[in-house]
Chains A and B, each alone.
Chain A
Amino acid sequence: MTRVALVGNGGIGTQDHQTAMYEPAFRRHPAFEIVDNPDDAEVWSIAAPLAERGKTIAEAIRSGRHVLADKPLAATVAEAQEIERLAAEHGVVVVPAHHQRLGGALRSAIAAVRGGRVGLPWNVQCDFLVAGGDPAPGGELVNFGLYPVDVLHALLGLEVRRVHATGSPALVTLLLDHDHGVTSTVVCGRLPVLRDVPPGGPAVHRYRISGSHGVLAVDATKPALSVRGTSFTGPVWTGPGTVDALLDVLAAGIATGRAAVGPSDAVRAQRVIEAAQRSMETGQPVETGE
């Protein structure tokens, strides 16, 4: 079993994903055991406040430890690139928590699109809308934006060349231009509290991939049961959770030296998020420089 230390209980605003997500997932995963002393661990699960996160991750890497990092991996593109460089230099695995792409419906969708099931994709529409929970200080773009941006790259395998963003801190719309004239649009943010949606839970998470030879509509809140009762109406997720799947990625990465989700994904997503921030400031489309 790989020994894991839980490092940090912060995030953006009031977030404590360490307690809410990573600790329980590590406890139930057969490949890992949690230890109290970070010096005894081979993996650090890092959920430090964003302002300190990059420094903590760098410390772990320099000490030869693998890392599971809360999202976003770093506060800036430059910081994420430095983590990527350090991880390569020290030969450790760093897995940022881009776990949404690992949901069962999306994994199948990614395989289908990359396999040509809809022909050549030319547009993707996505909604990533959470209901309730604590708003992220500074807006939800930094908090949530990387999830759908990461999924888009997994679906299309195409870089984002230009970003136009509009909306509000709570609810932002991203219009992305990819290679080959492919376009995508993401609406992401936080809705008010909705009945029967747990605080901070997904209210709408879906993708429509339009291709030259078909359309794939993906409800990423599935696979799920639909339960209706006297005190509860709503979906009940079936199958492994996305954080469990993320730990599978981490375990496989440690075993093979190469993880399916890595710092380059964080760099790529952060570049889009920063371009979106500049677009929101200027009201104009912004080249990502990628």
Chain B
Amino acid sequence: MDRTGIVLVGAGFIADAHCGAIDADPRAELVGIVDADPGRAAAFARKQGGIRYETDLDTALAWPGADAVILCTPNDTHAPIGLRVAAAGKHLLVEKPLATTLTDARALAEAFEATGRVLVAAHTHRFYDYGRAVKQTIDSGAIGRPQLVRLAILGGWIWPDWSAWVGDPVRSGGHALHNGVHLLDLATWWLGGEPTAIFARGRKQTAAELRIYDYLEMVVTYADGATAVCEMSRAHRPGSLAQRELLVAGTAGIVEQGWDGESALVFGEAGTATLPAAGGNGFAAQLGAWLDAIGGAPPAMPVADAVRAVALGVAVEESIATGRPVAVTA
């Protein structure tokens, strides 16, 4: 079997999840790691059994057996690095968001379209068990035509200190681009409609001095009259009690999963916490779908959907800034 050689770019915490996915798929092989910090690159390489490491992307793209890249760098670098990957003729799985601006997202889409290589943005929730189960339930017709999505992913502060790049809206694009796109894409995928407008509200709950909104409420209106109410929070306390809640209402029924739909509850001396059930590996499923697409299958996460997610995220940030609904143009 010809294995797809993958170069990881960016040795941050999410790279471990992608490494695990690569390890689990016999069609993939981790060729090496690139990180701007040579020490971090070397440490990551050692942890992976002594794979190659490099600080220069172009050098790594020329490594023998390098067919594809998984890009895990800060969001504002996705477009410039992605364009270099496209120019090198490699496939790309890029962490979400595809880019921090719609112009950059479109440029990436066009570059990969021109090369014929497969570009996928890591909207991993499409590949989580719950995401797929809801989609399958809707597609089965069990609830009729979906008209409403309620989706909340709530948790506490998970980022580092004030130096975290996520907290810099220039680097991350803001929380709507960084995490909000997960929900915006998932709800839109479930509904199967065309978003027409967004009204959003944001809150700096953890600290007034934050430069991003750690709580987002994003309400999307669709051309067919459907509505999606999406909440994304890193502001909830206690942070130990992560919650995910979903409700999809259709013309013939509803599908819902409460905060305890996938988690047990631990009452302990250290407090109360949810204990998520063991299940499928969303990152592995995502990687598998990308490899399938490289092999010629239809992409499970089309580039147009990733561009649309960026458009939605940008519209969220604009709506919060203006206090007004924003028309969506993907």
Which residues of A are interface residues toward B (Cβ below 8 A)? 122-123, 125, 127, 129, 164, 166-168, 171, 173, 175, 177, 181, 183, 185, 187, 191-192, 194, 203-204, 208, 210, 212-215, 217, 283-285
Q: Pick out which of these stretches binds chain A: B34-42, B62-70, B131-139, B144-152.
A: B144-152
Q: Which B residues are CB-close (under 8 A) to A191?
A: 249, 254
Which residues of the other chain, B, contact A204 by a CB distance below 8 angstroms?
A: 247, 254, 256
Instruction: Count A/B pairs, Cβ under 8 Å.
Output: 88
CB–CB A168/B325 < 8 A: no
Q: At the interface, yes or no: B26 with Cβ under 8 Å from chain A?
A: no
Are B237 and A213 touching (Cβ within 8 A)? yes
CB of B104 within 8 A of chain A? no
Residues on the A chain within 8 Å of B233, using CB? 210
Let me know if B201 is at the binding interface, CB within 8 A.
Answer: yes
| B:232-261 near A, CB below 8 Å | 233, 235-238, 241, 243, 247, 249-254, 256, 259
Q: A129-B249, A284-B325 are in contact. Are A171 and B237 (CB under 8 A)?
A: no
Chain B residue at smallest Cβ distance from A204: B247
Select which of A166, A173, A183 is within 8 A of B201 by beta carbon. A183
Give the distance in Å from the alpha carbon of A186 to the alpha carbon of B235 in the complex: 20
Which among A203, A217, A283, A285 is the interface contact of B323 at CB below 8 angstroms? Answer: A285
Q: Compute how far the CA of A204 lies from the CA of B243 in the bound complex, rounded to whole angstroms.
A: 18
Contacts of A215 in B (CB 8 A): 154, 236-237, 241, 243
Residue B84 at the chain A interface, CB threshold 8 Å? no
State A210–B245 Cα separation when bound (angstroms): 14
A127 to B251, CA, bound (A): 17
In the bound complex, CA of A214 to CA of B154 (Å) = 12
Q: Are A123 and B203 in touch, CB under 8 angstroms?
A: yes
Whether the pair A171, B147 counts as a contact (CB closer than 8 A) is: yes
List, in ascending order, chain B residues with CB within 8 A of A168's CB: 147, 225, 227
| Chain A residue with Cβ nearest B254 | A191
**Selected contact of A187 from candidates B229, B243, B250, CB within 8 Å:** B229
Q: Are A175 and B219 in contact, with the CB atoms below 8 A?
A: yes
Judge whether B190 is part of the interface by a CB distance below 8 angstroms. no
Contact sample, A vs B, 25 pairs, CB 8 Å cutoff: A122-B205, A122-B215, A123-B217, A125-B231, A129-B249, A166-B197, A166-B199, A168-B225, A168-B227, A171-B227, A173-B219, A173-B229, A175-B219, A181-B203, A183-B203, A192-B144, A192-B253, A194-B253, A194-B254, A204-B247, A213-B237, A215-B236, A215-B243, A283-B325, A284-B325
